[in-house]
């Protein structure tokens, strides 16, 4: 009985370890508990340079360069986060929040509030300075306010169309012989 429990326990540990090692292939999750995962690919530039997401969506930076890259938010963001992976503050830089990414590494953040956030990707370069700064922007919008606005305008258009059709029928009834 103890051997069987040991074997089951060992098998569960191995499966749990394999799951976190990424042995399931190159697939990365595309959905978080609260929203979608949006990828920003870092090469010679960042793609997309401007990204619009909903609160709770996960933004994932993936470094596809040969060398290291650093994603840097100069404005304070820690109070706006609902999740983070591989990001942290720099010693002595109270407001700076960064992720250091080696080649094929990734880091991610989720924001809770609507905001426009600017960041810079700093990477090694052949420029005389030895570093290139690639700017990017994330716009976090409110999904519910967009839906409510769209819903209201759709309803208004339908109501207007219905009123026009009703008036047209009434005029036809008045002018048609009985």
Tell me the pLDDT tens digit for each residue of 85-124: 999 876 555 556 899 999 999 999 999 989 999 999 999 8
Across 91-119, b (16+ Cβ under 10 Å) vs e yields: eeeeebbbbbbeeeebbbbbbeeeeebeb
Using an 8 Å Cβ cutoff, are 107 and 87 in contact?
A: yes
3-state class of 144 per DSSP? helix
Residue written as tokens 């994603």? 71
pLDDT at residue 168, rounded to an integer: 45
Mean pLDDT for all residues in the chain: 73
pTM assigned to the model: 0.61
Question: Of 138 and 144, which is predicted with more confidence?
Answer: 138
């Amino acid at each position: 009985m103890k051997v069987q429990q040991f074997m089951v326990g060992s098998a569960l540990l191995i499966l749990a370890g394999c799951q976190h090692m990424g042995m399931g292939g190159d697939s990365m999750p595309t959905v978080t508990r609260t929203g979608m995962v949006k990828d920003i690919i870092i090469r010679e530039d960042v793609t997309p340079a401007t990204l619009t997401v909903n609160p709770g969506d996960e933004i994932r930076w993936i470094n596809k360069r040969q060398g290291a890259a650093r994603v840097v938010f100069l404005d304070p963001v820690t109070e706006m986060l609902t999740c983070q992976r591989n990001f942290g503050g720099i010693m002595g830089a109270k407001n700076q929040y960064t992720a250091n990414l080696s080649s094929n590494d990734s880091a991610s953040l989720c924001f809770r509030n609507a905001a426009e956030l600017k960041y810079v990707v700093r990477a090694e370069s052949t420029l005389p300075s030895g570093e290139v700064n690639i700017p990017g922007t994330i716009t976090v919008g409110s999904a519910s306010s967009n839906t409510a606005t769209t819903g209201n305008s759709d309803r208004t258009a339908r109501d207007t169309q219905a009123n026009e059709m009703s008036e047209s029928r009434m005029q036809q009834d008045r002018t048609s012989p009985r």
